[in-house]
Amino acid sequence: MGLRETFLPWPVLRQAIASVRAGDRSGRGAAVRSRATDRLTPRTETADRVVGSVCPYCAVGCGQLVYVKDEQVVQIEGDPASPVSRGRLCPKGAATKQLVTNPLRETKVRYRRPYGKDWEDLDLGTAMEMIADRVIATRRETFVENDDRGRRLRRTMGIAMLGGATLDNEENYLIKKLGTALGAVQIENQARI
């Protein structure tokens, strides 16, 4: 086997030669582009439209650009115009697309009965009724009007609320408003924990 066959297939050597030929001395441009790479087109270039949004995952609120094609989300990138994040997203924010498009995403109410071993589907109306019944019953049982010295408390320690980071601002606002109106004290969001 000659020198050419032995050493030329080495990626680093091929890259060095290509760098010289392409005038790409840092080896970060044309020299490292394969023909397959040249055939690729970013999803951001073929989108029908771009919609400004905010990352749903945490309280930082990084700006996002949502690329839409054929009414489907095809890519989500950081928004360079955001004064909060200036185009950057952390790994979680950069993976936001799967929140919308992942085939494993749950789209039905799932319920596991006490002592049950399996999950079952519930229709939304039934689930909402069950939650409302339990909230009302718990509040009724645990609401405290005054403390033992007669000072007004008007609270329940029997209900706590924990929001998830995929709740948006409006949902969090309504949950906080509802919780406070019920007399709940422990109202928290995963993004602050």
163 binds ligand SF4 (CB under 6 A): no
How far is 164 from 159, CA to CA, in rounded Å?
Answer: 16
**Among the residue ranges 38-46, 53-61, 109-117, 146-154, the one whose residues contact ligand SF4 (CB under 6 A):** 53-61
Of 92, 108, 112, 140, the residue at the interface with ligand SF4 (CB under 6 A) is: 92
Tell me if 55 contacts ligand SF4 by CB under 6 A.
yes
Q: How far is the CB of 80 from ligand SF4 (least distance, A)?
A: 14
83 vs 116, beta carbon nearer ligand SF4 = 83
Residue from 60, 95, 178, 185 touching ligand SF4 (CB under 6 A): that is 60
Token reading at 101: 């498009």
Query: Which of residues 33, 53, 61, 122 is near ligand SF4 by CB under 6 A?
Result: 61
> What is the helix, strand, coil percentage profile of the chain, to 5?
40, 25, 35
Residue 109 near residue 123 (C-beta atoms within 8 A): yes
Residues for the chain: how many in total?
193
CA angle 94, 71, 107 (to 5 degrees): 70
Site string for ligand SF4, 137-156 (x = CB under 6 A): --------------------
Selected binder of ligand SF4 within 93, 156, 159, 172 (CB under 6 A): 93
Tell me if 47 contacts ligand SF4 by CB under 6 A. Answer: no
Residue 17 vs 60, nearer CB to ligand SF4: 60
Q: Report the alpha-carbon distance of residue 67 to residue 76 in Å, rounded.
A: 6
Smallest separation (angstroms) from ligand SF4 to the CB of 87: 11
Query: Which residue is it, tokens 């297939």?
Result: 9
**C-beta neighbour count of 120 within 10 angstroms:** 11
- Total Cβ atoms within 10 A of residue 64: 23
What's the first-to-final CA gap in the chain, in angstroms?
A: 63
Nearest distance, CB of residue 189 and ligand SF4, angstroms: 12
- Chain positions contacting ligand SF4, by CB under 6 A: 55, 57-58, 60-62, 85, 89-90, 92-93
